[in-house]
């Protein structure tokens, strides 16, 4: 609900501002100005209609509404940023006149051209941002764990986080993710939270569990909960995840083979989740210890318990610029490889996306971890 209220607030704030400045910038002709205002009013009406009837609308109508409104939501942010930059230039010109005379002489033509250029530029940006989420990159990470392992000197793990199957991510993209994972020939596949977005019904109706059962890894597929698994129908989501063939680890420890341990933590949203110290009772800490923990927090707990590698997601690396800058203020490591004392961490930006199907200044990624075990 907090996210929806934030969206409504920004829509009601930004759309009228863009409409006001766009009306001024367009040539003073009704056939240009009024359709422009009409389109903005229609989008706002569609957004409010979708919000008010989100629980009763059929999916065939709801999904296009989400797509239209999410697209405008992101475009309006960048339009507003561009217009505010122009506001700053106009303000400085009023205080200290510096515009060339041809700009002041042909003010209306300059406004129209500039507004059209901004609109075209943001359209190109949005097209590229959508292409990015539909074409995840494969990110290879080569890490060394300083432990001697009898019977194994290396391990290849495919790591995927933040799939967010739902209204925006469906069967086509999931099939692409599965093919991309299988092409890496991993020993092990791990899903580090947020398999599903808000509702499980989209995955259930499309039988996406059948596609995920095609994941190939000799040592198996393992998953942990993310914060989105706790939203809406939590137990239905867990049942669906188990139908994919993955082993769901909720504060539990497994050995995919005898050479290392995989520790799956419940999401931090569960305040009663077990501590690492309790999970490691009876574990041979001389073997490599790999933790799956959706949210990249509490790295000190990993260090205190001798964890060799922690794998996280959750942040999306901000998903849209300038949010990556905000993530750096919130998280010790919002994205990428990080070493703290003797413990290694990798935080993925996620293979999917949350909400709008766009990424600006970030990437959708499938991470391939090439681990080597070497004794000190």
The sheet that has 309-312: what strands, in order across it? 252-254, 261-264, 289-292, 309-312, 343-347, 336-340
One domain, residues 365 and 228: yes
Q: Name residue 165's beta-bridge partners.
A: 196
One domain, residues 86 and 148: no
Per the model's pLDDT, the better-predicted residue between 140 and 95 turns out to be 140
One domain, residues 120 and 152: no
Q: Of 132, 152, 178, which closes a domain?
A: 132
Mean predicted confidence (pLDDT) in 173-180: 97
One domain, residues 115 and 63: yes
One domain, residues 209 and 330: yes
Quick one: pLDDT at residue 376?
64
Q: What is the pLDDT of residues 322-363, one digit of tens each?
A: 999 999 999 999 999 999 988 999 999 999 999 889 999 999
One domain, residues 123 and 163: no
Among the listed ranges 4-13, 145-154, 289-298, which one has the minimum average pLDDT value?
Answer: 4-13
Mean predicted confidence (pLDDT) in 15-43: 92
Q: Is the pLDDT of residue 53 over 90?
A: no
One domain, residues 44 and 142: no
One domain, residues 147 and 225: yes
Confidence of residue 4 (pLDDT cuts 50, 70, 90): low
One domain, residues 257 and 326: yes
Most confident residue range from 60-74, 84-98, 176-190: 176-190
Which residue segment(s) compose the domain that 254 sits in? Answer: 138-373
Q: Of 88, 116, 132, which closes a domain?
A: 132
Quick one: pLDDT at residue 257?
93
One domain, residues 151 and 50: no
- Rounded CA-CA distance 100/349 in Å is 45
| The total number of structural domains that make up the chain | 2
Q: Is the pLDDT of residue 31 over 80?
A: yes
Quick one: pLDDT at residue 3?
57
Residue 292 maps to which CATH number? Answer: 3.60.21.10
Mean predicted confidence (pLDDT) in 82-98: 92
Mean predicted confidence (pLDDT) in 84-109: 90
One domain, residues 266 and 329: yes
> CA 219 → CA 30, 144, 255, distances in Å?
66, 20, 9
Cβ–Cβ < 8 Å for 8, 44: no
- Rounded CA-CA distance 251/272 in Å is 10
Quick one: pLDDT at residue 371?
97
Record the tokens describing residue 341, joined without a space: 């004392």
What does pTM read for this prediction?
A: 0.92
Instruction: Supply the mean pLDDT for the chain.
Output: 93
Mean predicted confidence (pLDDT) in 98-123: 91
The residue among 353, 326, 335, 365 whose CA lies nearest residue 74 is 353
One domain, residues 76 and 159: no
Among the listed ranges 4-8, 75-79, 246-250, 297-301, which one has the minimum average pLDDT value?
Answer: 4-8
3-state DSSP assignment of residue 369: strand
Q: Of 132, 163, 193, which closes a domain?
A: 132
Return the number of other C-beta atoms located less than 10 Å from residue 36's C-beta.
Answer: 16
- Rounded CA-CA distance 320/306 in Å is 35
């Amino acid at each position: 609900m907090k996210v929806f209220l934030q969206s409504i607030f920004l829509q009601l704030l930004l759309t009228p501002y863009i409409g006001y400045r766009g009306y001024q910038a367009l040539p003073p002709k009704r056939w240009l100005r009024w359709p422009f205002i009409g389109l903005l009013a229609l989008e706002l009406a569609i957004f409010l209609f979708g919000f008010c009837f989100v629980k009763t609308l059929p999916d065939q109508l709801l999904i296009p509404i989400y797509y239209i409104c999410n697209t405008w939501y992101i475009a309006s942010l960048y339009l507003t940023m561009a217009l505010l930059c122009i506001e700053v230039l106009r303000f400085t010109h009023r205080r200290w006149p510096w515009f060339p005379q041809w700009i002041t002489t042909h003010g209306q033509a300059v406004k129209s051209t500039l507004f059209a250029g901004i609109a075209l530029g943001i359209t190109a940006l949005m097209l590229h941002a959508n292409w990015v989420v539909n074409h995840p990159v494969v990110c290879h990470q080569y890490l060394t764990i300083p432990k001697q392992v009898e019977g194994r000197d290396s391990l290849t793990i495919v790591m995927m986080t933040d799939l967010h199957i739902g209204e925006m991510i469906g069967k086509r993209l999931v099939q692409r993710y599965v093919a991309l994972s299988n092409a890496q020939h991993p020993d092990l596949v791990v899903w580090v939270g947020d398999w599903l977005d808000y509702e499980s019904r989209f995955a259930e109706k499309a039988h996406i569990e059948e596609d995920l059962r095609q994941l190939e890894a000799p040592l198996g597929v393992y998953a942990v909960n993310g914060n989105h698994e706790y939203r809406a129908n939590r137990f239905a989501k867990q049942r669906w995840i188990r139908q994919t063939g993955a082993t769901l680890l909720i504060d539990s420890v497994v050995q995919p083979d005898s050479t290392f341990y995989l520790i799956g933590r419940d999401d931090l949203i569960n305040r009663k989740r077990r501590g690492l110290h309790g999970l490691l009772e009876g574990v041979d800490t001389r073997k490599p210890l790999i933790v799956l923990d959706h949210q990249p927090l509490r790295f000190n707990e990993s260090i205190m318990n001798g964890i060799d590698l922690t794998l996280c997601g959750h942040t999306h690396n901000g998903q849209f610029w300038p949010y990556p800058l905000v993530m750096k203020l919130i998280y010790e490591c919002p994205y990428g490889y990080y070493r703290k004392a003797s413990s290694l961490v990798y935080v993925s930006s996620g293979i999917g996306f949350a909400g709008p199907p766009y990424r600006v200044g970030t990437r959708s990624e499938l991470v391939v971890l090439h681990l080597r075990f070497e004794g000190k």
